[in-house]
Amino acid sequence: PMMGFLDAKHEQIRRGIRIQDLTEEQGDRIYAMGELVSYCRAKVERGQKDTLSYRPEKELSTRLSESFLRFLAFTAVTLSPSSQKEIKITKTAFAILTKVVRDTAYGFTYDIVQVLYKHDKKRLDDPEGMDRDGIAVKIGLSSSQTWNILQDLKELGIITSLAVSNPHGKGRKAHYYVLTSHILGICRQVLG
């Protein structure tokens, strides 16, 4: 049955269907999805004594965005009736793409981005952030492992840290981590 379905969809494409143009908002969202995944998949290479081996860079967002756009178009065609000549990009097709994006971005970086975004979602103009231990508990890692990942995320420009007075009284200032404004903008489009 699956081969028959795919053959019918292939025939529909060959007969010349038209996929409705994306709105500017949809195009921006797909590009933001590509950016989020490119940041989440970027790695920081460290050498001896934990020094950077080279300046970390993320992959090109446009390449990922183009792949996501093709996937979205194919999903829209797959969800549409075979007789339909003009295909619309539906909320269902976008929901499937969003699931694919989250699965592709999945990892510790995505976990931390998601935790920080959810924590400050209601106050994006003035985020308060979270401390390392709070983040560690949310993502289920040790405090030291979380600290290492947070340092990498700072190198990649995903987060920044705020030194705030120690909530426990005297001593050194506490460090709270927040998403950079660029990443907050991406999360607003992708994570809602």
For 150-175, how does the pLDDT look when each residue is reduced to its tens digit (9 = 90+)?
988 998 999 999 877 766 666 677 78
Other beta carbons within 10 angstroms of residue 127's beta carbon come to: 21
Give the mean model confidence (pLDDT) for residues 54-66.
Answer: 78
Give the mean model confidence (pLDDT) for residues 80-88.
Answer: 80
CA–CA separation, 32 vs 1, rounded Å?
A: 36
Share of the chain above pLDDT 70, in %: 82
Give the mean model confidence (pLDDT) for residues 133-159.
Answer: 93
Helices (H), the chain: 2-14, 24-41, 61-79, 91-105, 108-120, 132-139, 143-155, 181-190
Amino acid 168: pLDDT: 63
CA–CA separation, 150 vs 112, rounded Å?
A: 8
Amino acid 64: pLDDT: 92
Amino acid 77: pLDDT: 84
Higher pLDDT among residues 10 and 121, named by residue: 121
Mean pLDDT of all residues belonging to the chain: 85
Model confidence at 57: pLDDT above 80: no
Is pTM beyond 0.75 here? Answer: yes
Model confidence at 121: pLDDT above 90: no
Measured between its terminal Cα atoms, the distance across the chain in Å is 37
Model confidence at 138: pLDDT above 90: yes
For residue 134, name the pLDDT band (cuts at 50, 70, 90). very high
Tell which residue, 186, 127, 121, 122, has the closest CA to residue 156: 186
Alpha-carbon Rg for the chain in angstroms:
21
Model confidence at 3: pLDDT above 80: no
For 42-55, how does the pLDDT look when each residue is reduced to its tens digit (9 = 90+)?
887 766 666 655 56
CA–CA separation, 171 vs 123, rounded Å?
A: 28
Other beta carbons within 10 angstroms of residue 114's beta carbon come to: 18
For residue 82, name the pLDDT band (cuts at 50, 70, 90). confident
Between the alpha carbon of residue 81 and those of residues 9, 42, 90, the distances in Å are 9, 39, 13
Model confidence at 4: pLDDT above 80: no
Place of tokens 């840290």: 161
